[in-house]
Amino acid sequence: MRKPLMAGNWKMNKTVEEAISVVKALKRSISDVTDVDVLICPTFTTLYAVNNELKGSNIDIGAQNLFWETKGAFTGEISPAMVKDAGCSYVLIGHSERRQYFGETDETVNKKTKAALAAGLIPVVCVGETLKEREENVTFKVIEKQLKEGLAGLTAEQAASVVIAYEPVWAIGTGKTASPDQAQEVHAFARKAYGEMYVDASQKVRILYGGSVNPTNVSELMKQPDIDGGLAGGASLQAESFTKLVKYSK
Ligand code: PEP
């Protein structure tokens, strides 16, 4: 019912040449995949070239951020229409690194989500608790707040079209993955909390897991009923490992 989505977040990695070399290999290695949606999110400076290389392929591209205003005196920012113009169909919003280092809040996540939707982009909205919050047993409270504030005020149709990524902060780039049971528990909770906001959308919305997803743990994670895909950082940087994520054994 929910088509899996395997997404790669390249963060601040790769020149145009390096990016093109990976997507050329990826295009070949996953050209036969039809049962999983595939997305890569390169840097802003490589989007245009990557999009040209991927035209006609089964790989979508997304940006890693955007600004909610449409244009004007906002030095260094990129508007939703510009992201769309570069060939993107998705955009990551509220990644924990942006929350941690660049002052992203649930309020800015909400503004960006609405602006992305208005421009015809699919937002991949990231939520997740820190290690301290998990140890203090407030994981559910944190996720609920991030969802209720970050995704407030959408239409039913928009609510079903967004993608949510559960990324426990303690598992990002650390090699520590949430166990399939731990991840499923939060995914089920997130779906329930989203259902209190948008009844119909909650069964349609895709909830990805992110946090040290790799070729070894991907299949067990994907077996969980409320995990609809993955958002990978490190394992998406090479065509070989990302292909293994996309072609996880079912
Ligand atoms: C991420 O960047 O969203 C991420 C989950 O990174 P990693 O897979 O490297 O933990």
- Checking if the pLDDT of 2 tops 90, the result is yes
- Checking if the pLDDT of 11 tops 90, the result is yes
Nearest CA to ligand 1 atom 6: 233
Whether 95 is catalytic? yes
Q: Please state, for a pLDDT cut of 90, what percent of the chain lies above it.
A: 96
Over the stretch 130-187, which tens digit does the pLDDT of each residue have?
A: 999 999 999 999 999 999 999 999 999 999 999 999 999 999 988 888 899 999 999 9
Q: What is the mean pLDDT of the chain?
A: 97
Over the stretch 16-28, which tens digit does the pLDDT of each residue have?
A: 999 999 999 999 9
Kindly state the tokens that stand for 187. Answer: 């995914």
Q: Is 233 in the pocket of ligand 1 (CB under 6 A)?
A: yes
The alpha carbon of 93 and the centre of ligand 1 are apart by a number of angstroms equal to 14
- Checking if the pLDDT of 250 tops 90, the result is no
Whether 167 is catalytic? yes
Mean pLDDT, range 53-77, rounded to an integer: 98
Mean pLDDT, range 191-214, rounded to an integer: 97
pLDDT (0 to 100) of residue 136 = 96
- The residue whose CB lies within 8 Å of the most ligand 1 atoms, and thus the one to mutate among 104, 231, 238, 245, is 231
For residue 62, what is the DSSP state?
Answer: E
pLDDT (0 to 100) of residue 176 = 85
pLDDT (0 to 100) of residue 177 = 85
- How far apart (Å, rounded) are the C-alpha atoms in residues 97 and 169? 9
Q: Is 9 in the pocket of ligand 1 (CB under 6 A)?
A: yes
Helix residue spans in 73-197 (DSSP H):
80-85, 96-101, 106-118, 131-135, 139-150, 156-161, 180-197
Contact 164, 127 (CB under 8 A): yes
Domains parsed from the chain with CATH numbers: 5-246 (3.20.20.70)
